[in-house]
Structure 1
């Protein structure tokens, strides 16, 4: 009986030792795995480090960008420091591409979608109202958004792992849906542009005129020169367009 108890004790000690070794090995393996799989963050430039310091100084972890730029602490900063965190010229010129560069694809896709939808609205207004909207208005939306928000968004990504603006619905946090949204907005934009193009016509002289006159001819847009409009008149020009079809 004593020998049996002793044998059981040896077995128990052996089992405990093996269990400890196995657990220790698993923990060590997990630590090694985490060290291997977690990529090292790209070191920040001095300019970005200064931006991060200013954001920390302004308690950006607990505030939105709007709250930061409207705070008294922000107003007390030097002009150069305010510009450093509130404006990014690379963001202005590259727009959503700068978000892709900083590995923020969800926000980049959303900005692209907004830009395409905005463009679709503008070209529709141009066609229906027979007006010409300056080209800069088309690209200004994405450029301004990126220029104003990219600094704060990069800070939030590095410090909080933020991939999408918190106030947006949860479906905006899914990459596949955001890509679909951007592609869908692009297709709509191209479709509207193609439709309008097939309903716009130019006279020979107007095709080389930088500022032609736009005429609404029963849902179709006819571009003519000012001289053609003065000498021929709108009714005759629209009638000529109808006869062509």
Structure 2
């Protein structure tokens, strides 16, 4: 349908004839002109803009422009390269913003991968109260990409669909992974990833899923009890240090 203005004021809504519903509203050169206008306005204000516009007699008229306030915050990177980020919270089904302490904890989980712990984290980033993992490097490796897409598919098919599109991007295809960093990461993560994958595959194919919840509850209870006993052995300031 289309909304038309009427001479006496107001508007009227009409159905668009079927033969016109698939017609392109603007010619290609006008689309390019409109995009260039949008870029010019964004550059002028220094931020992404929500722009309302009209076109009459082949001429564009800018009716309104204001900053977009609904953009989801994303991590800031300074290298100007293409990056693929995945929200850590969302793949854990934790969609609310995280507390600073939780962000700090998760951000330091991968410190063992860094050559120097004082350096900025190259894998974990935060933005808008969320933690993001930079999966650009792992996705550049085809074996790792295949494994990750398979794992993520069990979590969220829309996520896998987005990742599958991202790895087709020309900017992503141009990227290369530094070999020194790659070998260092593989050397440190292989002892963790390989046994974990073996365990996961074993659980998927040989374990009884009906007993999974009971086993998980029992394991959590056991670990919590052991840690509680360990903490209670200490008193005063020593207990705080132990925690």
| TM score, norm. by length of structure 1 | 0.24
Greater share of strand: 2
Greater share of helix: 1
| TM score, norm. by length of structure 2 | 0.24
- Pair member with larger Rg: 1
